[in-house]
Amino acid sequence: MNLTRIRIISFILIVACIIVKLLKKRRVETFISPKKRVCVIICGFAPRSFKYVHKTIQNKIIDVLNTKYEVDTFHHSLLSKMGSIESSRSGENDLDINNEDVNLLNVKELITEYQEDIDIQHYIEKSCGANENHKINPLRELYSEKQAVTNFPIEDYDACVMIWSDAYVIKEINLKHVEDAIENKSVFYSTDYNTWGGVANKFYITSPKMLKNVSSRIDLYVERCKDLKGKKENNEKFLKYSLMKYNAEMKHTDMFYLKIRAHGEPNYYIKFIDKYVLKREADKIKKMFASGKIDA
């Protein structure tokens, strides 16, 4: 066999090996599943305290989700035509607020509405809340949830995470619970505190279909209050009622966050912190809030 013939055969073998490797690679890539998609939905009244908490939502929820999934973030927020906040809580009333705070976190889509313009009077008149604050504010919250799931394309995702814009997130989101929501469309995760006889609101991990149903529960509100025949019901009990109506499998997640008021002070959730995070971290956070508030 002459040298030229050997070179030709060697060349053919090399080319054949390259083709086989490319075909194997293509076959492997074909069987690799694309990343699942998760949407994060922020609701609420951003001018109140979003400036204090937006970085924690980014770091503890969005960034953690990004390690495993394709993630898009959506934000629905009420704004105010007033330059200050109206509140019955000591230290909050008449504090300056800034509607531009809604833009502090980069999101795929942002929808804003002035709270003075939304039409919830019909619900207020038929409300079964205990007092005026328990009528107006919960209904604004229900309105924000409904607007979010109605206007954002949540059906394009495999799972949804909803959180409120006053949540100072301390513990990272549990990816196992997100995966469970992807695999089991009926599960609904919420925290195991702030239940008040029902199911904790303002942080959820669930499927798009379940979120669409449950976060549209304002549509059930008038009929529910009518059925109570004068009895009062808080938002947490109403959430539980709605979940039962849609046959949700209610589960607890180990998420822990604090609600931050307009003046930068945490709510009473801080009393529970030792149960959810390691002592060193808990002590650090308690020390940070020892002055009563956090800087923006």
pLDDT score for 251: 99
Question: In this structure, is residue 85 part of a structural domain?
Answer: yes
Question: In this structure, is residue 116 part of a structural domain?
Answer: yes
- Helix or strand holding residue 251 (H, E): strand 249-253
| Total residues found in the chain within this entry | 296
Question: In this structure, is residue 16 part of a structural domain?
Answer: no
Into how many domains does the chain fold?
1
pLDDT tens per residue, range 20-44: 676 666 554 445 568 999 999 999 9
Reported as a pLDDT band with limits 50, 70 and 90, residue 224 is very high
Mean pLDDT in residue range 136-150: 97
Question: In this structure, is residue 281 part of a structural domain?
Answer: yes
Check whether 214 has a pLDDT greater than 90: yes
Question: In this structure, is residue 169 part of a structural domain?
Answer: yes
Q: Which distant-in-sequence residues (6+ apart) come within 8 Å of 47 by Cβ?
A: 77, 79, 80, 85, 97, 98, 99, 101, 102
Question: In this structure, is residue 24 part of a structural domain?
Answer: no
Question: In this structure, is residue 5 part of a structural domain?
Answer: no
- Report the distance separating Cα 175 and Cα 61, nearest Å: 10
pLDDT score for 85: 85
pLDDT tens per residue, range 59-110: 999 999 999 999 999 999 999 999 888 777 777 777 899 999 999 999 999 9
Question: In this structure, is residue 231 part of a structural domain?
Answer: yes
pLDDT tens per residue, range 232-282: 999 999 999 999 999 999 999 999 999 999 999 999 999 999 999 999 999
Check whether 164 has a pLDDT greater than 70: yes
Measured between alpha carbons, how far apart are the two ends of the chain, in Å?
A: 81
pLDDT score for 137: 92
Check whether 3 has a pLDDT greater than 60: no
Q: What is the pTM of this model?
A: 0.88
Q: Which residue's entry shows tokens 């196992």?
A: 176
- Report the distance separating Cα 272 and Cα 32, nearest Å: 42
Q: What percent of the chain has pLDDT over 90?
A: 79
Both tokens of 225, joined, read: 């209050």
Structural domain that includes position 94: 37-288
pLDDT score for 30: 46
| CATH number for 136 | 3.90.550
Within 90-192, residue ranges assigned H as helices are 121-125, 133-151, 175-183
- Report the distance separating Cα 66 and Cα 35, nearest Å: 10
